[in-house]
């Protein structure tokens, strides 16, 4: 039986996390790999290994261990019928644990490619293995069983960014809070680290990163090591929000060679939503992180490759295959392209805004931000659904939520169910005709000044947390004039393109652009970045899925 203590699983969860395969299932897996005798002490896989193999125990025992500071902690012991692995077998990321033979016997060994073929072709085993891998990763995250330690402070915006980046990438980490851990300063002194270097990431065995960018974290953890950047792809998808992930799932599952490039971490705006309640099939709601995390795993299961912290900086559309410059000097090429770069929150022009971003000013309301303002007063700026959701969610954890809107109420801009919840909630106060005019503080936001635009009266209060939810602008700056945009910068597609647009951008074909196709043949735009798109998760997912069928048509005729 598995050793449960380190992962602290209940019996129900343990059965699903470490299932025992039937003899028939073992035979099916054996047909994809090879049988191998094992001797006590054999290391089948080590921490940091990039080439990952999958093992089923036929006889004997193997144990997953976490080596640290000369010691080893047993994470789990696997016995006959059980199998090794977690989500990094699907993503191709480095191993987080050591796998060693505890009792001699026999295993079935599959290379990663053989495992991917198995999960793509066998529905029963795919479900069982994927569920176990995801539950194991979840348990590793809950237990902090990663190869990263983040040392940071709630007063430092880089700390929130780094923690969010790791969380959104589903990467387990341990957190040491400088504000509460008396020994932490000594630790920093040992590494000669100044306060400007916070957050510090100890990554792998001995890499110490000082206030690293997301790209540096991704590099240190080898997030993109398995991605071949030299191949000309069938389809490159730019952006891994709901629209891009849906396109990746459909494209890869229908046999296309798909690469997704994502500037930050998978999930997009949806990943910053605490609870999505209007997405079909989830009557009790689902957090954006959970929804997009599942989509991410699904896309990778079908073989889509995803580059993380790799923002597209330029589209070269003069010749085909198209090429996209990616930050850091690399370039990817593709016969078709789906642009799914979505939108970003508009930032009001306020002095000091950027100084307090992540240190009192937030653009998302997830449990991570909520943790920072438990029991305190917060302000949510905006009158749309995302502001409403944030206010309702934050009211469960904070003392009071004030919603600031410039208009005279919420009903024109917010769904009725949210307006009713806000009206019924004594912890939420709506201030109409109100806008923030000043932000004050030292290392963290401490005071906010606001004005009532009807009376001109200005008030100041000690508020240390403001959530900006004030509408979005499209991420289209990187398109280098390749495609027609509307007057707000959103991408025009299909029948929205006028004859003048087609002439101005040199549309070269006799046929008219397909649905969702831009002024470049084979370049599609989906989701929030597209002009006239309904800004919802469902429409982003729908458009991402539909675009793939047009991609097939383009690839067949090119
Ligand atoms: C807080 C909040 C709550 C919401 N709640 C709901 C809800 O309850 N129900 C609902 O239906 N909708 C909701 N929405 C709206 C919904 O999340 C969006 O409509 C949806 O996420 C749009 O998906 P998308 O994939 O088109 O774009 P996005 O989600 O914006 O994703 C775009 C992705 O592209 C990446 N990107 C941007 N530029 C580049 C580049 N140059 N190179 C590479 N990658 C790039 C971004 O990092 C991002 O990951 C909410 C939005 C927010 C912010």
Does residue 226 line the site of ligand 1, with CB under 6 A? no
At 402-437, the pLDDT tens digits run: 999 999 989 888 999 999 999 999 999 999 999 999
What 8-state DSSP symbol labels residue 169? T
Residue 3: the pLDDT is 42
- State the average pLDDT over residues 484-496: 95
At 276-333, the pLDDT tens digits run: 888 999 999 999 989 999 999 999 999 999 999 999 999 999 999 999 999 878 899 9
Residue 69: the pLDDT is 65
At 77-116, the pLDDT tens digits run: 999 999 999 998 988 888 989 999 999 999 999 999 999 9
For helices 112-121 and 288-301, the axis angle rounded to 10 degrees is 110
Average pLDDT over the chain reads 91
Does residue 528 line the site of ligand 1, with CB under 6 A? yes
Query: Which numbered atom of ligand 1 lies nearest the CA of 266?
Result: 49
Token match 């992962």: residue? 7
Answer yes or no: are the C-beta atoms of 56 and 18 closer than 8 Å. no
Residue 307: the pLDDT is 95
Does residue 533 line the site of ligand 1, with CB under 6 A? no
- From 165, 168, 237, 269, the mutation candidate for ligand 1 (largest count of ligand atoms within 8 A of CB) is 269
Under 8 Å CB-to-CB from 489, ≥6 apart: which residues?
473, 474, 476
Query: Which numbered atom of ligand 1 lies nearest the CA of 478?
Result: 41
Which position has the higher pLDDT, 505 or 329? 505
Does residue 273 line the site of ligand 1, with CB under 6 A? yes
Burial of 299 (0-12, 13-18, 19+ CB in 10 A): buried
Residue 471: the pLDDT is 79
Token match 């000594």: residue? 186
Residue 150: the pLDDT is 92
Torsion of CA 495, 500, 501, 505, to 10 degrees: 140
Query: Which numbered atom of ligand 1 lies nearest the CA of 244?
Result: 25
Decide: helix, strand or coil at residue 495: helix
Residue 2: the pLDDT is 41
Of the candidates 29, 2, 26, the residue with the CA atom closest to the CA atom of residue 14 = 2
At 192-237, the pLDDT tens digits run: 778 788 999 988 767 889 999 999 999 999 999 889 889 999 999 9
Residue 143: the pLDDT is 80
Q: What pTM value is reported for the model?
A: 0.85
Nearest CA residue ID for atom 48, ligand 1: 268
Tell me the CA–centroid distance for residue 27 and ligand 1, in Å: 43
Q: What percent of the chain has pLDDT over 70?
A: 97
Q: Give the DSSP H/E element, type plus range, for residue 215.
A: helix 214-220
At 424-479, the pLDDT tens digits run: 999 999 999 999 999 999 989 999 999 999 999 999 999 999 999 987 889 999 99
- From 164, 168, 239, the mutation candidate for ligand 1 (largest count of ligand atoms within 8 A of CB) is 239
Q: Which two tokens stand for residue 252?
A: 């890869």
At 321-375, the pLDDT tens digits run: 999 999 878 899 999 999 999 998 888 889 889 889 888 999 888 888 898 999 9
Q: How far apart are CA 261 and CA 17, in angstroms?
A: 30
- From 250, 289, 331, 341, the mutation candidate for ligand 1 (largest count of ligand atoms within 8 A of CB) is 341
On the question of pLDDT at 5 being above 70, the answer is no
Residue 9: the pLDDT is 64
- From 161, 168, 265, 268, the mutation candidate for ligand 1 (largest count of ligand atoms within 8 A of CB) is 268
Residue 272: the pLDDT is 80
Tell me the CA–centroid distance for residue 33 and ligand 1, in Å: 40
Residue 336: the pLDDT is 98
Residue 4: the pLDDT is 39
Does residue 145 line the site of ligand 1, with CB under 6 A? no
């Amino acid at each position: 039986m598995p050793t449960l203590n380190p992962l602290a699983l209940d019996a129900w969860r343990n059965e699903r996390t470490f299932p025992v395969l039937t003899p028939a299932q073992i035979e099916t897996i054996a047909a994809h790999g090879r049988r191998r005798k094992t001797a006590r002490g054999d290391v089948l896989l080590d921490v940091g290994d990039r080439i990952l193999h999958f093992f089923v125990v036929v006889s004997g025992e193997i144990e997953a261990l976490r080596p640290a500071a000369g010691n080893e902690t047993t994470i789990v012991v696997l016995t006959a019928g059980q199998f090794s692995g977690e989500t990094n077998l699907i993503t191709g990321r480095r191993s987080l644990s050591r796998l060693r033979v505890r009792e001699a016997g026999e295993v079935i060994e599959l290379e990663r490619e053989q495992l991917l073929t198995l999960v793509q072709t066998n529905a029963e085993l795919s479900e069982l293995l994927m569920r176990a891998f995801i539950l194991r990763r979840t348990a590793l995250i809950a237990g902090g069983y990663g190869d990263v330690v983040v040392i940071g402070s709630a007063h430092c915006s880089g700390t929130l960014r780094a923690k969010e980046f790791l969380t959104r990438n589903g990467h387990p980490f341990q957190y040491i809070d400088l504000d509460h851990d008396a020994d932490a300063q000594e630790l920093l002194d040992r590494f000669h680290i100044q306060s400007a270097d916070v957050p510090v990431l100890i990554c792998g065995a001995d890499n110490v990163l000082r206030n690293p960018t997301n790209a540096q974290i991704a590099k240190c953890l080898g997030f993109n090591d398995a991605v071949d950047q030299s191949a000309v792809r069938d389809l490159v998808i730019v952006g891994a929000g709901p629209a891009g992930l849906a396109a990746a799932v459909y494209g890869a599952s229908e046999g296309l060679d798909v690469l997704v490039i994502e500037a930050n971490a998978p999930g997009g705006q949806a990943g910053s939503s605490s609870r999505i309640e209007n997405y079909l099939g989830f009557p009790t709601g689902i957090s954006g992180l959970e929804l997009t995390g599942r989509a991410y795993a699904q896309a990778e299961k079908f073989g889509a490759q995803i580059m993380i912290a790799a923002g597209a900086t330029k589209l070269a559309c003069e010749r085909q295959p198209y090429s996209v410059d990616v930050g850091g000097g690399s370039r990817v090429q593709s016969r078709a392209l789906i642009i799914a770069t979505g939108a970003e929150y508009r930032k009001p022009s306020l002095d000091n805004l950027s100084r307090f971003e992540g240190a009192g000013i937030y653009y998302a309301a997830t449990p991570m931000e909520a943790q920072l303002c438990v029991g305190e007063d917060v302000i949510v700026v905006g009158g749309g659904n995302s502001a409403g959701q944030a206010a309702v969610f934050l009211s469960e954890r904070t003392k009071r939520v004030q919603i600031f809107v410039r208009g005279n109420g919420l009903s024109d801009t917010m769904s009725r169910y949210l307006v009713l919840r806000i009206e019924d909630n004594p912890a939420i106060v709506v201030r109409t005709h109100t806008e923030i005019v000043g932000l004050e503080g030292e290392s963290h936001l401490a005071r906010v000044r606001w004005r009532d635009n009807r009376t001109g009266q200005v008030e100041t209060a000690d508020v240390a947390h403001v959530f900006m939810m004030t509408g979005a602008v499209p991420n289209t700056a990187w398109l280098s004039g390749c495609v027609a945009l509307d007057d707000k910068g959103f991408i025009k597609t299909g029948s929205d393109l006028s004859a003048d647009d087609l002439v101005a951008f040199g549309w070269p074909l006799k046929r008219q652009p397909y649905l969702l196709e831009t002024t470049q043949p084979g370049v599609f735009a989906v989701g929030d970045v597209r002009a006239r798109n309904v800004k919802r998760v469902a429409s982003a997912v729908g458009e991402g899925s539909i675009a793939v069928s047009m991609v097939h048509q383009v690839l067949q005729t090119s």
